[in-house]
Chain A
Amino acid sequence: MILGIARKEFVDAWRDGRFRLGAALVLVLLLVSGLLARQQVARAQGERDAATALERKNWLEQGDKNSHSAGHYGVNVFKPTSPLAVFDRGIEPFVGTSVFLEAHRQNQAAFLPAQDATAMRRFGELSAAVALQMLVPLLIVLLAFGALAGERESGTLRQILSLGVRPRQLVLGKALGLGATVAVLLLPAAGVMAFLLARAAGPEATGLWARAGGLALSYSAYLAIFVALSVAVSASTRTSRTALTILLSIWALNCIVAPRLASDVIHQSLPTPKLAEFEAEMQKGVMEGLDGHDPRNKRLADFQRDTLAKHGKTRVEDLPFNFQGLVMLESERIAGEVFDFHFGKLWDRIQAQDRAVALAGVGAPMLALRSASMAFAGTDFAHHRHFAVSAEQHRREFVRVLNEDLMNNARPGDHRYAAGRALWEQLPVFRLEPLPVHDAWGAARAGVLVLAGWLLAALGTLFFSAGRLRVVNA
């Protein structure tokens, strides 16, 4: 019986010209956004590859110079784009695309793509993810608001129930039919997406399918929540007009109001530090030690004393290596601790804010979905942090090799010492290992859990509303 009702609902939906129009629009938007995003992501990647190649050339051809000067010359590394950014670009336009790696300093990723675009960016991006997050739920609402309230209004509900159809069968059948309608609408789009992914996926794209699976699950749950809620509301209201008003309000709160409201409220209680304070504290940490009682000068003096004692010498000139080089290594190590502490604190705070927004998804499921979606697509802050941390590791390794060269090969006091291309070639090109799938699921966890909770609650509401289905609602 349920299947019969579902089939009838399914056929009805597809016969409705307005639904077909809406569905066609959504499909066209999905397709257009997918194709354009693919083009944009490919262009961005091409530009970064070209820049990486040019930077490598700059690095190798910098000429002979002191190896520590080469550390100051530094190198720019560029953030690779995630293959799934085609689906959801997430925060990509709002994070830096390159980091300058140099001696003594940990720089932040600079050059946000959104800074080099018009203010139109702030209206939001046309991506498949946004279409699924905002437009498809609206389509579901418009499709479902009259499902039961309309039958009640026109008097057919009484007739159906008098035929011996159980309310639960009717409500579940309607929900199932609507769900199938949406699924049939979206399956071709998902198929196209999977095809594009399969073509784009290189050998290094391990875990891509596990990520795509996570996306499919999250979006299915989100849309199912909307189907269940819409039918439940339609079952419980007197007129289809009331059902529509309630559902449109829910949609607007969820899709339009919640993202900005949640982000503003959460940042009020978990503020991001000010740039000036952040920099001052970092500077202070470098000069005075993390606890503020261990000045850099004293540490380096102690270091000199200990080193001389270890080698049984009294003058640094008598050491079997260039002491300046060793001091550079030591001061990088000291500074590294301070950078790790302060950047770690900043990034932890940003991730805490993001997690709080995902958890605010308890009030608006889109917040949870967006968080999960960006995590699976590899375009959330966890992935950006992974890039920043990897770049910093690369910097430390790169500076270490240069300083060790100074230490071992430059005679003390020889200011004309110069290393050359042979050394520059020893330093590898930066390559970002993709964040393991396991970590992507970790980043998505809060969002996925909240969505699962919503799904259970929405299905529960659906059952409950079915149990209370009345021919006439007071």
Chain B
Amino acid sequence: MRFVLFSCLIVALLGSWLYFAKLSVDEQYRTLMRLESEIKSQTEHNYVLQAEWAYLTRPERLLRLSNSLLQNNAITPERILPITAIPMRRAASSPALNTEAGVENVVY
């Protein structure tokens, strides 16, 4: 009899514990749902912002604005030089530049 009563008690306790666990899980599900909904909403918002950004930065528009506001032109070949064409930095110990009187030597 004691065994039966003890088993019943255990079952009752386990049942209660499971019930509260379920409530807790449900609460977490609701939190998850809310977060998922928030993520979805933010993702959608992000899609809209990205689409707007893509629309505003479309090359056709940038080219048109650049032509009308900046008067930029394509780089001509003579303005593109190999890296070797750039003069090296002058060493500190190298002879100073010929300078006019009254102008200080400039060390690069």
Question: Do A and B come together as binding partners?
Answer: no
